[in-house]
A and B are shown apart, each in its own frame.
Chain A
């Protein structure tokens, strides 16, 4: 459950007036729905594409490709309807919500940090360095970086995590690359 029940639809509408002023041309009245439609069409197409090598079988004996192909098709259908409803013929006002401001920094930095942490953990560099990288990376996702605070935080959180997870629960990850 999110804090905002309407999801992003509560974001302020983005003004997007077309100055051409042509009347009969269909216009996108809701950019959020438009892109959502495109997204689902793409996802459905991907599902069908990925299922191309799986035997379809028939309704009587469904092959591994049957269910995903159908789902892909249904998804494309939903995408077309969602996207289609975002158009309005002879529209003047842009009523629907736009995509709002995109938080590029945390959106890129946080997943990337987790990926780096995953690689470090898999490489068995050690629990402590991996966590320090993870926490430091998190701090970078924020607009204003306080270095002293970040260093203190990573030391304390790492120490806490090692105490709880390594000594408390007994997760068997080595702490540093030189320990075993």
Chain B
């Protein structure tokens, strides 16, 4: 316990320097601003703003990027409350009751309760990381190559099982991501692989480039494909920001429950904010004395999911910081940034760079406070921003992506690659595939190959090593159970369909 306080003091010492406070603020502000724009989720926002963090020292860069991450997450909620248009998946739930509230002239309380819930969740999440992180990292320090390989297999399968869309397609996307990760120089043999004769590819393809392609460019193409995006901007002024006392009283329970749900789901790969928010919504609706109020502007329906979403956003840092394994595409970007700054991710980060680990955690707490203070007065600006038609907005977004990607390596090749991934991404969207598994696999690809090589070296080429070592074996077992859980109901449903058809036929 004493150690925890010492660590937190160290963290706040780092996060409270003027420089880091400024970058935290800048990240939160810019993140919210871009996150407010419809159709841009946290991943695209982070990828777009990533180049801004390059010139900074590693700690400041990570603090700023984390600020961008939860800022854009919160920005998405603002959009879905004010406009009937979610900026990202997790805001779909906020929209259900947030927008009706806004229509009743209670946008202010909705946004305020979302901010308060998020702040509370942020505190819980931060504390949880501080508590769970060190023991988890200690366990992870004893992992060998087989354990790491199995853990990565589990993470990738988990992300595919719980993600949206078909399991088979997600698993195929994992393989595609691993293949993209192979591009570049093989660390073991020094051989150039999949570089198509392009010298710039010898360092591999940057994760930001791919993320901006598939989450940024593809999304824009998709938005332009639809018929004119109808903006249902809220008319009239937002008055009365502060929620009433009874609002707070009703929201207290949902915020508490939402925090626990989100905090529990966050570290699990693929179980992102959307699922936490949905679960929280369902729980609140079940527990409510009058469930019919839901969908018509019940404040619990905003408080719970928003809190869950933010708690999840916070605890999703746990596996990334302690194991070096990202649980979401945003964390994959975060991990990529760490590697770019010369920090090898993994359990040793906590002991080798305690300033970085604890500084980042402390900054998250501060950043969440900033969100609370910053967003309520700035709502007017966000509303103005939302009134800009998409026709004018997307060229601005494209310009930022173009400049951002070019400045990564001062190379047009990266811009071309982003264009290619945006182009291919649209085809994949049309084929019903989703991208988070691809991004996760892409970061893990080189690590997976290296750990596979080492494991097989250890076992004289015997692949059963992954099943016979106890920890590795349990990861593999868990993976198998996950797959089974998914397949069984599908099987049952299929069988039911067949039975139903036969019944009709007979």
Determine if B406 and A43 form an interchain contact, defined as CB atoms under 8 angstroms apart. Answer: no
Determine if B419 and A114 form an interchain contact, defined as CB atoms under 8 angstroms apart. Answer: yes
CB-defined contacts of B449 to chain A, threshold 8 Å = 62, 67
Task: Please classify the interface of chain A as helix (H, G, I), strand (E, B), loop, or mixed, using the class held by over half of its residues.
Answer: helix
CA gap between A74 and B443 in the complex, in Å = 19
Summed over the interface, the residue pairs from A and B with CB atoms below 8 Å come to a total of 218
Contact among B171, B179, B434 for A78, CB-based, below 8 A = B171
CB-defined contacts of A142 to chain B, threshold 8 Å = 224, 391
Determine if A165 and B403 form an interchain contact, defined as CB atoms under 8 angstroms apart. Answer: yes
Contact among A8, A51, A102, A122 for B411, CB-based, below 8 A = A122
Against A, the Cβ 8 Å flags (1 = close, 0 = not) of B39-51 are: 1011100000000
- A7-B433, A97-B432, A161-B403 known; A60+B457 contact, CB < 8 A: yes
CB-defined contacts of B164 to chain A, threshold 8 Å = 2, 5-7
Determine if A71 and B395 form an interchain contact, defined as CB atoms under 8 angstroms apart. Answer: no
B230 at the interface (CB under 8 A from A): no
CB-defined contacts of B86 to chain A, threshold 8 Å = 3
Contact among B171, B398, B453 for A138, CB-based, below 8 A = B398
CB-defined contacts of B403 to chain A, threshold 8 Å = 131, 161, 165, 171
B420 at the interface (CB under 8 A from A): yes
Determine if A8 and B429 form an interchain contact, defined as CB atoms under 8 angstroms apart. Answer: yes
Contact among B168, B220, B427 for A106, CB-based, below 8 A = B220
CA gap between A111 and B416 in the complex, in Å = 8
**Most B C-beta atoms less than 10 A away, residue of A102, A110, A122, A139:** A110
- A1-B90, A100-B430 known; A169+B406 contact, CB < 8 A: no
Against A, the Cβ 8 Å flags (1 = close, 0 = not) of B441-474 are: 0000000010011001100111100000000000
- A1-B90, A114-B415 known; A157+B169 contact, CB < 8 A: no
B104 at the interface (CB under 8 A from A): no
Determine if B272 and A43 form an interchain contact, defined as CB atoms under 8 angstroms apart. Answer: no
Determine if A64 and B430 form an interchain contact, defined as CB atoms under 8 angstroms apart. Answer: no
Contact among A79, A85, A107 for B221, CB-based, below 8 A = A107
CA gap between A68 and B186 in the complex, in Å = 11
Determine if A2 and B431 form an interchain contact, defined as CB atoms under 8 angstroms apart. Answer: no
Interface residues of A in 54-106 (CB under 8 A from B): 54-55, 58-64, 67-68, 71-72, 74-75, 78-79, 81-82, 85, 97, 99-103, 105-106
Determine if A5 and B182 form an interchain contact, defined as CB atoms under 8 angstroms apart. Answer: no
Determine if B432 and A9 form an interchain contact, defined as CB atoms under 8 angstroms apart. Answer: yes
Question: Smallest CB–CB gap between A57 and chain B, Å?
Answer: 9
Against A, the Cβ 8 Å flags (1 = close, 0 = not) of B306-320 are: 000000000000000
Determine if B191 and A64 form an interchain contact, defined as CB atoms under 8 angstroms apart. Answer: yes
B176 at the interface (CB under 8 A from A): yes
Contact among A33, A63, A141, A171 for B189, CB-based, below 8 A = A63
CA gap between A121 and B407 in the complex, in Å = 11
Interface residues of A in 4-25 (CB under 8 A from B): 5-9
B412 at the interface (CB under 8 A from A): yes
Contact among A43, A103, A169 for B224, CB-based, below 8 A = A103
Determine if A2 and B219 form an interchain contact, defined as CB atoms under 8 angstroms apart. Answer: yes
B252 at the interface (CB under 8 A from A): no
B493 at the interface (CB under 8 A from A): no
Determine if B194 and A60 form an interchain contact, defined as CB atoms under 8 angstroms apart. Answer: no
CA gap between A74 and B174 in the complex, in Å = 11
CB-defined contacts of A44 to chain B, threshold 8 Å = 175
CB-defined contacts of B420 to chain A, threshold 8 Å = 111
CA gap between A85 and B19 in the complex, in Å = 56
Question: Smallest CB–CB gap between A121 and chain B, Å?
Answer: 5
Against B, the Cβ 8 Å flags (1 = close, 0 = not) of A134-173 are: 1100110110001001000110010001000100010100
CB-defined contacts of B274 to chain A, threshold 8 Å = 1, 5
B101 at the interface (CB under 8 A from A): no
Q: Name A114's closest neighbour in chain B (CB-CB).
A: B419
Interface residues of B in 384-423 (CB under 8 A from A): 391-392, 394-396, 398-399, 402-403, 406-407, 411-413, 415-416, 418-420, 422-423
B358 at the interface (CB under 8 A from A): no
CB-defined contacts of A36 to chain B, threshold 8 Å = 169, 172, 431-433
Determine if B172 and A118 form an interchain contact, defined as CB atoms under 8 angstroms apart. Answer: no
CB-defined contacts of A100 to chain B, threshold 8 Å = 430
CA gap between A2 and B39 in the complex, in Å = 8
**Most B C-beta atoms less than 10 A away, residue of A67, A68, A131:** A67
CA gap between A113 and B189 in the complex, in Å = 38
CA gap between A113 and B43 in the complex, in Å = 23
Determine if A1 and B89 form an interchain contact, defined as CB atoms under 8 angstroms apart. Answer: yes
Question: Smallest CB–CB gap between B31 and chain A, Å?
Answer: 15
CB-defined contacts of A3 to chain B, threshold 8 Å = 39, 85-86, 88-89, 92
B18 at the interface (CB under 8 A from A): no
Determine if A60 and B460 form an interchain contact, defined as CB atoms under 8 angstroms apart. Answer: yes
Contact among B193, B225, B395 for A153, CB-based, below 8 A = B395
Contact among A59, A131, A146 for B456, CB-based, below 8 A = A59
CA gap between A101 and B221 in the complex, in Å = 12
CA gap between A51 and B191 in the complex, in Å = 11
Question: Smallest CB–CB gap between B326 and chain A, Å?
Answer: 15
CB-defined contacts of B461 to chain A, threshold 8 Å = 58-60
Determine if B179 and A82 form an interchain contact, defined as CB atoms under 8 angstroms apart. Answer: no
The 10 closest A-B pairs by CB, nearest first: A103-B225, A1-B89, A118-B412, A59-B461, A60-B461, A118-B415, A111-B419, A122-B412, A138-B395, A114-B419
Q: List 23 A-B contacts (CB under 8 A).
A: A1-B42, A2-B429, A7-B429, A7-B434, A8-B429, A36-B432, A50-B193, A55-B191, A62-B452, A71-B182, A72-B179, A78-B175, A81-B168, A82-B166, A103-B224, A114-B217, A118-B413, A121-B415, A122-B412, A138-B395, A161-B399, A161-B403, A171-B407
